[in-house]
Amino acid sequence: MRDLRLDQLNTFRRVIELGGFSAAADRLGISQPAVSLQVRQLEKRLGVRLVERVGKRTMATEGGKRLLAHAARIEEAVNAALDDLATQGDAALGRVRIGTGATASIYLLPPILRDLRRRFPSIEITVTSQNTVDVLRELEANTVDIGLVTLPAPGRAFAITPLLDDDFVAITSSEGEPLPKTVTPALLATRPLILYETAGNTRRLADSWFARAGVHPTPVMDLGNVEAIKELVAAGLGVAILPGTAMRRRGERLAVTTHTLLPRLSRKLALVMRRDKVLGRGLREVIKALKRLG
């Protein structure tokens, strides 16, 4: 019986998907000679030539195309076997590392993580809160498993699943000078602004919103903590623009008033992960739970 190794099959699929050995090596985090060796070993075991050069791109031969047709079913069978074994003990769920922004970690994740912990008591979930660019860097390095971030998320290595549109709002102190229910960039620019720190996509979106209206205000404060921004606004120290999800916390009694932005400003939150990420049962359960946000 021929010995079909899953790591070699995965490497072959990446070579064809990305069109070359170098690109596959970068994606898998191994050397190009190691990629070439795995493909040669797979060809030797199967007795079939699997790849050929067409111009500058590496393509599957007829035999390679037939193997690719089986590869998806092989992966499904392996995942089904892992799921079956996982039912014998929750410990098989393993650890899942999530990278996300401050707003999502405070206002979106807690109920989801609470439900996951209730249903899977032994699952280990860690969350790191960073700006999108830092989460993407962690994904590339494989130090987090999945990101819940604000788009855009550039990079050919990533699989992206958009989840929800999050409209921005302006908030003002309920005890300060009142503003109309709908506010414009020109109007907000006349007030002291408290904005999110410059490194994040949230701030870049707000700056672009002002710039499109020909307004370039200078904020009186830049902070990386959404809760601190809300407290400062409640204290009457300025007005702020925040994602609407930041106003979802139940039981909150801050003295702030919410205003609609005109023109509308929104951000798109998405799940981002490496295309070559192996989906263990724990990670698949987390993905399913996060997709319910949409």
Same domain, 275 and 152: yes
> What angle in degrees, to the nearest 10, is found between the helix axes of 32-46 and 21-28?
110
Same domain, 159 and 240: no
Encode pLDDT of 126-160 as tens digits.
999 988 999 999 998 889 999 999 998 888 889 99
Residue 225 has, within 13 A of its CA and on its CB side, a CA count of 5
Q: Where among 52, 70, 86 does a domain terminate?
A: 86
> Is residue 102 situated within a structural domain?
yes
Same domain, 273 and 159: yes
Same domain, 177 and 140: no
Report residue 105: phi and psi, to 5°: -65, -30
**Which pLDDT band, with edges at 50, 70 and 90, does 76 fall under?**
confident
Q: Where among 59, 86, 113 does a domain terminate?
A: 86
Same domain, 36 and 115: no
Same domain, 172 and 261: yes
Q: In this structure, are residues 102 and 224 in contact, taking their beta carbons and an 8 Å threshold?
A: yes
Same domain, 97 and 76: no
Residue ranges making up the domain that contains 74: 6-86
- Amino acid present at 202: T
Encode pLDDT of 65-75 as tens digits.
999 888 878 87
Q: How far is CA 179 from the centre of its chain?
A: 35
**CA distances from residue 192 to 50, 188, 205, 231 in whole angstroms, order as listed:** 64, 8, 18, 15
Same domain, 26 and 71: yes
**What CATH number is given to the structural domain containing 205?**
3.40.190.290
> Is residue 278 situated within a structural domain?
yes
Encode pLDDT of 192-205 as tens digits.
999 998 888 888 99
> Is residue 1 situated within a structural domain?
no
- Report d(CA 249, CA 129) in Å as an integer: 18
Q: Give the chain's mean pLDDT.
A: 88
**What CATH number is given to the structural domain containing 109?**
3.40.190.10
Same domain, 190 and 141: no
Same domain, 77 and 98: no
- Report d(CA 64, CA 53) in Å as an integer: 13
Question: Helices (H), strands (E): how many in the chain?
Answer: 11, 12
Encode pLDDT of 29-68 as tens digits.
788 888 899 899 989 888 899 999 888 889 999 998 999 8
Same domain, 169 and 31: no
Q: Where among 31, 54, 86 does a domain terminate?
A: 86
The predicted pLDDT at position 276 comes to 84
Identify any residues that bridge with 118 across adjacent strands, giving them in sequence order: none
Same domain, 153 and 273: yes
Q: In this structure, are residues 131 and 201 in contact, taking their beta carbons and an 8 Å threshold?
A: yes
Q: In this structure, are residues 280 and 81 in contact, taking their beta carbons and an 8 Å threshold?
A: no
